[in-house]
Structure 1
Amino acid sequence: MSTSNSPVRLNARLDTRPDGGPSRGLWLVKWLLLVPHLVVLFFLWVAFPVLTFVALVAILVSGRYPRPLFDFNLGVLRWTWRVWFYGYGGLGTDRYPPFSLDEEPDYPATLDIAYPERLSRGLVLVKWWLLAIPHYVVIAFFTGGGGILLWQWGESRLGVGGGLVAVLALFAGVALLFTGRYPRGIFDLVTGMNRWVLRVGAYAALMTDEYPPFRLDLGGADPAGPRVRPEPAERVATHSGGSAGRVVGVVAGVLALLLGFGLTAGGGALLWLDGHRGADGYLSTPVERFSDTGYALRFDASEISSVDHGLPGVDDVLGRVRIHVSGVDSGAMFAGIARTSDVAAYLSDVPHGRFTGPRTMPHAAPMMRMRPPAVPMGDTMWVASDTGTGELTVNWVPRRGEWSLVVMNASARRGVAADVTFAATAPSLQPIAVGILAGGIGLLVTGSLVIVFAARQRPRRR
């Protein structure tokens, strides 16, 4: 048997039942039984790269991996290994995995990583991507791009991949179903490949400077033997309540981080948008060409934007609205804004294109009768309008209610095409963006502190 100096110790024990292995058919429904674990692990694996990045900065500054972060990330790997071994990365036990970040030495699948007292500041910048590339190529065959751990900087995925590990576990499941026995050779090979994957995962997660060996150490017992880190004088007691509290804290922190990232991105985007006003202070949409074979183009503001649904202060959000309309041909055009109910009555039974926004297909108008509309200029329903050749400009201050824009030929002839641009001053955009951005940053800080605090919690000693 080959020896290993890897600080990563992975052990697995095949269920010992009188008939030779796990039950025949339970593996067929384990995908359902694993759902609660996968939900929790999703949040843990969102936190994992965040804490690893914090550890990277700490290693660059001090040459040490903060012990609370190390213990938490090790707990995530342990939890993942137990779930993977129970599920379709091993099928080696029918004992349901505990919801725990702790060691759980009595479970058939265990993992330990010796804590490094010092780590190289230089290696931390290159080992997780450049130096680990050869290993990534190898373990891609094992995991199929999914599996127990495909860790890239800033991104983590956990799932059942189509790699060799899952395929061999499936073969073992079929053997269990028909013979009641788990082929020992498959178990040894699957465990060896999982051992290789987790060694690479620990190296990529900056938890060791020891380069993973290019070697399949087969079998359930790690050839390196028992863990090498010294055991403290007092024994650490497995405390499921403490572990559950840590998980709840991390999940809450991750939710705060996700919401914070969203708000920060949204606030930043709004600030960027606010910085791209025209010289006249307006924010404009790109010029868009609209056309229809009917008599008019209709734009309902309630379908383009929800800010006009009778909400108070709508004029504070949009400010002044300006619409530019340019006809495609040389004929005179008309553009006007009126209440949606009046526009619906005006265009009743009139073929026209109804648009819900830029780059959308028009809604076909009902054609029970084919009649042209009245010439628009003589109607008093328009609250803002313009007519003529060249570029038309409609200036309007939004009011509560539902409003629509109509663009048509001034002579009310059939067939209309125009280039349309919508613009608004949006005076409240900057303070809204600053408020959203500040809230997002606050949630990012809060989420990070909650995760770090949860990671610092240690199991009780006895």
Structure 2
Amino acid sequence: MAQPMWSHPQPMGPFEWLPALDVPEPARQRRWTVLLRWLLLIPQFVVVVVLGICAFFVMVAGWFCALFTGALPGPIARFLAGYLGYETRVHAAAMLLVDHYPPFAMWPGAAYPVHVEVRPGPLNRLAVFFRLILLIPAAIVQSLVMSGWYALAVIIWIITLVLGRLPRPLFEATAAALRYSMRFTAYVFMLTSAYPKRLFGDEPEKEFGAQGTAPGTAPETAPGTAPGGEPGAVPEGAWPGAAPRTPQDAAHGAVPGTAAASSATRPLVMSTAGQVLVAVFLVVGLASTVISNAESDWNDDSAGPAETTVVTVS
């Protein structure tokens, strides 16, 4: 039977799914939460460290499984995806992208505004075997962009504290840095075969459908997630005093696996100012790395060789 003339052609090969990050549009933030943000997140940082140690050993086990079977076992993929989401939500709060406190849960459901979507699938065994070598270029980029952001963190914090919100170009650049870091971690964890890319944003007219989803694919719900709460309920994990959910929010949350209508990062369309700031993060990260290495070498040279005292006994 012939296909209708308006039907979309189906892709000939497997679609390369890049892990997706959903962050809501930049909104006003309470200055007291901005002022105390990292202090309030100390318990979350502790949990991330503990879960990260567990994730390392789970990843090693998954590497051996993927090397022989060509895919991550379900329980391993689920744990690593849960940790990836947890870590990303904590970083989103720490980097002032949202004014919501991250919940102490690996699968918080649709109520929390920051979401990560991964689709673990078949893996190339050769790429799995050489994973450590393949990720070196992406690791350099990820290290530079994140170290550049944290080198400028005090300036970004002061701007947000004074204005009560993250300016749009800063939001775009920060979201781009966080998304790239998340995609890098997902590649390390073998949750995707797609190499980290698109640090400078997306081109929706070429690569995304109306909802920011790849043509011919349907959104999927990460294991353990659930639809959003009822209208009037405070979102799970919100800072004290957060605005209640509206009927529109509940309607959006009632569709499992779909990106929220207010998502500013699927697709992440960046302005020129946002792209310039990403480049600034990279340059500052490179400069801070060079300065740090130079200081380390200078300290080693200043210390000099250890003096040796020779005692002659006659």
TM bucket, shorter chain: 0.5 to 0.7
Counterparts of 1:12 and 1:75, CA distance in 2: 17
| Residue segments in structure 2 that go unaligned for 5+ positions in a row | 1-14, 229-311
1:23–1:94 Cα contact (<8 Å) kept: yes
Identify the match of residue 142 of structure 2 among 114, 139, 142.
139
Larger-Rg structure: 1
1:14–1:132 CA distance, 2 compared to 1 (3 A): same
Aligned counterpart, 1:86: 93
Counterparts of 1:51 and 1:229, CA distance in 2: 29
Displacement of 1:13: 1.4
Please give the root-mean-square deviation of Cα atoms over the aligned residues, in Å.
Answer: 3.0
1:215–1:36 CA distance, 2 compared to 1 (3 A): closer
Aligned counterpart, 1:237: 226
Counterparts of 1:29 and 1:215, CA distance in 2: 29
1:190 partner amino acid = T
Aligned counterpart, 2:50: 43
Length-normalised TM-score, structure 1: 0.41
Counterparts of 1:171 and 1:109, CA distance in 2: 24
Length-normalised TM-score, structure 2: 0.59
Between the two structures, name the one with larger relative contact order (CA 8 Å, sep ≥ 6): 2
Aligned counterpart, 2:238: none
Identify the match of residue 109 of structure 1 among 114, 130, 140.
114
Aligned counterpart, 1:208: 192
1:10–1:195 Cα contact (<8 Å) kept: yes
Map 1:215-294 onto structure 2 (within 5 A). 215-217=199-201, 224=208, 225-226=212-213, 228=217, 231=220, 236-237=225-226
1:176–1:182 Cα contact (<8 Å) kept: yes
Counterparts of 1:100 and 1:78, CA distance in 2: 9
Displacement of 1:25: 3.5
Q: Which runs of 4+ in 1 moved over 6 A?
A: none
Aligned counterpart, 1:126: 130
1:176 partner amino acid = T
Aligned counterpart, 1:257: none
Displacement of 1:44: 0.4
1:15–1:108 Cα contact (<8 Å) kept: no
Aligned counterpart, 2:41: 34
Counterparts of 2:152 and 2:127, CA distance in 1: 35
Matched, 1:191 2:194: no
- Report Cα offsets for 1:141-161 as digits up to 9, x if no partner: 112xxxxxxxxxxxxxxxxxx
Map 1:301-312 onto structure 2 (within 5 A). none
**In proportion to residue count, which structure has more helix?**
2
2:99 partner amino acid = D
Displacement of 1:168: 4.9
1:103–1:110 Cα contact (<8 Å) kept: no
Map 1:444-459 onto structure 2 (within 5 A). none
Counterparts of 2:108 and 2:313, CA distance in 1: 77
Aligned counterpart, 1:11: 22
1:209–1:13 CA distance, 2 compared to 1 (3 A): same
**In proportion to residue count, which structure has more strand?**
1
Counterparts of 1:35 and 1:47, CA distance in 2: 19
* Aligned residues between the structures: 208
Counterparts of 1:192 and 1:75, CA distance in 2: 21
1:125 partner amino acid = F
Counterparts of 2:224 and 2:59, CA distance in 1: 28
Identity level (%): 26
